[in-house]
């Protein structure tokens, strides 16, 4: 099938490339000429394991192309996906839908013949109705249907998630559009993922409900970790015991510095705002948002406490800046709150991240960025592990200690055993462990 992907950011690029890898003809569109020029040169603007090779292979086989010409791409397409950004709007936290609606107007002007318009971006309930109204108003003569097909891609594992999904949610009422969407995902039939057809509004809400529930699990185990520290329990044992219950499951029960990234923060805020607007407040999700914000700020206090209550004039080394491993995404990363608080407290901050430093430099002007973990800890009074990159899991601890001015190790991801750290002479603290 011929597919146009409007938006070549994280969701659009990964989705477009994977559709092309299924054998569809895909054109990825973006208004940013610099981004398109970079993609045409084979330069991938985001870090996602395996994405660069997949892009190169599908471009080489002429199944994937890039352009700034939306009109031409849409005119040739049978299916047009909208995968533009929906950032949190300043002031109220609601999703900014201006990019969605602008794309809908541009698409309406360009479609020829029956076209299925699909919102791939995460959008509040009712957005599809408005997209449908805009297209119909802009082009009364157009033959089209509007569907919702939310993405469930984990950064760092997005390609595998797309090709081996737990489920594919499609919100559609038009029978012809349902057939088209079935054909779009037909290459996945071999893996037999559930292709779940629902009404459009339910599809839109499923994405928000799923992300908010997972954010709740993360926040719940973080609060349990705080209780574990008070009562002398081990949060890892507690989480493992909980996860053995099939009704609960083990995923997203890893205590840490709080959630960040492109999805959980903005999706929980948007769902809270939607619920408030419809006089159905979601008190649990409201609490999740508030607790997570406090937790990220509290991580700096842990580091300061490990340094004897003051970091003024001291050097703190941070390993990991991205909100999670295997991505360069700095959006709402816990490291941002940590760096801000440490800077306010008078610390000198050194940092190293395998992939996120280019992004971090734009938002952390006072940080000294280092070449590797050992360069980062040189002369430091404290080392905090903020992101659980694989290369931080087996550091040469004796060497680390010899390079530091003081052997304070704050493990915000619980990747080391307390006994091992202390055996090498560190003053060690972690999350939710006695």
* 82 in Cβ contact with 100 (< 8 Å): yes
Please indicate, yes or no, if residue 313 is contained in any of the structural domains. yes
Q: How far apart are CA 300 and CA 337, in angstroms?
A: 8
Number of H helices, E strands in the chain: 17, 14
Residue with tokens 């318009």: 117
Q: What is the CATH number of the domain that holds 240?
A: 1.10.1040.10
The 10s digit of each residue's pLDDT in 177-204 is: 999 999 999 998 776 778 999 999 999 9
* 55 in Cβ contact with 93 (< 8 Å): no
Spell 363-379 as b/e; 16+ CB within 10 A means b. Answer: ebeebebbeebeebbee
* 9 in Cβ contact with 86 (< 8 Å): no
Task: Name the percent of the chain in helix, strand, coil, to the closest 5.
Answer: 45, 15, 40
376 is catalytic: no
Same domain assignment for residues 137 and 6: yes
Q: How far apart are CA 253 and CA 214, in angstroms?
A: 9
DSSP state of 171: E
DSSP assignment of 200-221 equals: HHHHHHHHHHHHHHHHHHHHHH
In total, how many domains does the chain have?
Answer: 3
Same domain assignment for residues 323 and 250: no
Which positions of the chain have pLDDT values less than 50? none
Same domain assignment for residues 192 and 134: yes
Same domain assignment for residues 150 and 38: yes
* 332 in Cβ contact with 267 (< 8 Å): no
DSSP state of 424: T
Q: What is the CATH number of the domain that holds 367?
A: 3.40.50.720
pLDDT at 192: 73
Pairing state between β 115-119 and 168-171 = unpaired
Q: Tell me how crowded residue 397 is: count the other CB atoms within 10 A of its CB.
A: 17
Contacts of 7 (CB under 8 A, 6+ apart): 29, 30, 82, 83, 84, 85, 99, 103, 121
Residues in the chain: 434
Same domain assignment for residues 12 and 158: yes
Same domain assignment for residues 186 and 319: no
Q: How far apart are CA 296 and CA 303, in angstroms?
A: 12
195, 225, 310, 348 from 344: Cα distances, Å: 50, 26, 11, 10
Q: Residue 323 has which token pair?
A: 């909100």
Ramachandran bin of 294, using left for φ above 0, alpha for ψ from -120 to 50, beta for the remaining angles: alpha
* 3-state SS track over 131-145: HHHHHHHHCCCCCEE
Same domain assignment for residues 392 and 245: no
Q: How far apart are CA 168 and CA 18, in angstroms?
A: 14
pLDDT at 190: 73
Q: Which of 264, 289, 314 is the last residue of a domain?
A: 289
Contacts of 56 (CB under 8 A, 6+ apart): 42
Q: How far apart are CA 47 and CA 360, in angstroms?
A: 14
Q: Which of 198, 222, 257 is the last residue of a domain?
A: 198
Q: How far apart are CA 87 and CA 99, in angstroms?
A: 10
The 10s digit of each residue's pLDDT in 283-337 is: 999 999 999 999 999 999 999 999 999 999 999 999 999 999 999 999 999 999 9
* 268 in Cβ contact with 285 (< 8 Å): yes
Please indicate, yes or no, if residue 45 is contained in any of the structural domains. yes
Q: How far apart are CA 358 and CA 217, in angstroms?
A: 31
pLDDT at 191: 67
Please indicate, yes or no, if residue 373 is contained in any of the structural domains. yes
pLDDT at 51: 97
29, 75, 107, 270 from 110: Cα distances, Å: 13, 5, 5, 31
pLDDT at 292: 97
The active-site residue, picked from 263, 307, 370, 376, is 263
Q: Which of 258, 289, 320 is the last residue of a domain?
A: 289
* Residue 173 domain boundaries: 2-198
Q: How far apart are CA 192 and CA 336, in angstroms?
A: 41
Strand partners, 71: none
Nearest in space to 118 (alpha carbons), one of 131, 134, 130, 105: 131
Same domain assignment for residues 220 and 276: yes
Same domain assignment for residues 214 and 177: no
Q: How far apart are CA 194 and CA 191, in angstroms?
A: 9
Q: CA angle at residue 201 from 196 to 205, to 5 degrees?
A: 80
Please indicate, yes or no, if residue 434 is contained in any of the structural domains. no
Same domain assignment for residues 35 and 179: yes
Residue with tokens 């999703």: 95
Same domain assignment for residues 141 and 241: no
């Amino acid at each position: 099938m011929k597919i146009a992907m409007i938006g070549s950011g994280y969701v659009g690029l990964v989705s477009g490339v994977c559709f092309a890898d299924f054998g569809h003809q895909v054109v990825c569109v973006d208004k940013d000429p610099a981004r398109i020029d970079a993609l045409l040169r084979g330069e991938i603007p985001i870090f996602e394991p395996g994405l660069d090779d997949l892009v190169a292979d599908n471009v080489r086989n002429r199944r994937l192309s890039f352009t700034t010409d939306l009109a031409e791409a849409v005119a040739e397409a049978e299916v047009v996906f909208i995968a533009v950004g929906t950032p949190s709007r300043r002031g109220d936290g609601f999703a900014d839908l201006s990019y969605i609606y602008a794309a809908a107007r541009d698409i309406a002007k360009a479609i020829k013949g029956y076209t299925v318009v699909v919102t791939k971006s995460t959008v509040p309930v009712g957005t599809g109705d408005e997209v449908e109204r805009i297209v119909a108003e802009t082009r009364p003569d157009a033959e089209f249907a509007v569907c919702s097909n939310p993405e469930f891609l984990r950064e760092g594992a997005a390609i595998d998630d797309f090709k081996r999904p737990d489920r594919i949610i499609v919100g559609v009422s038009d029978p012809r559009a349902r057939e088209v969407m079935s054909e779009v995902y037909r290459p996945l039939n071999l893996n037999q993922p559930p292709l779940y057809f629902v009404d459009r509004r339910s599809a839109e809400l499923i994405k928000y409900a799923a992300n908010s529930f997972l954010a709740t699990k993360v926040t719940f185990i973080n609060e349990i970790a705080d209780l574990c520290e008070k009562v002398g329990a081990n949060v890892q044992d507690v989480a493992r015991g909980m996860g053995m219950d099939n009704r609960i499951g083990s995923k997203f029960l890893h205590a840490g510095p709080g959630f960040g990234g492109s999805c959980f923060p903005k999706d929980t805020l948007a769902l809270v705002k939607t619920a408030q607007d419809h006089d159905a407040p979601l008190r649990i999700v409201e609490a999740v948002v508030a607790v997570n914000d406090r937790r990220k700020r509290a991580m700096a206090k842990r580091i300061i406490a490990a340094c004897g209550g003051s970091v003024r004039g001291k050097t703190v080394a941070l390993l990991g800046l991205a909100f999670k491993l295997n991505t360069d995404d700095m959006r709402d990363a816990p490291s941002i709150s940590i760096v801000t608080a440490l800077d306010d407290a008078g610390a000198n901050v050194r940092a190293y991240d395998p992939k996120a430093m280019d992004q971090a430099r734009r938002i952390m002007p006072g940080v000294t960025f280092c070449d590797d973990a050992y360069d980062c800890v040189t002369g430091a009074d404290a080392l905090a592990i903020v992101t659980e990159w694989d290369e931080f899991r087996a550091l040469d601890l004796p060497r680390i200690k010899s390079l530091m001015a003081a052997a304070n190790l704050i493990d915000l991801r619980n990747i080391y055993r307390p006994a091992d750290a202390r055996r090498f002479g560190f003053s060690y603290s972690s999350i939710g462990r006695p």
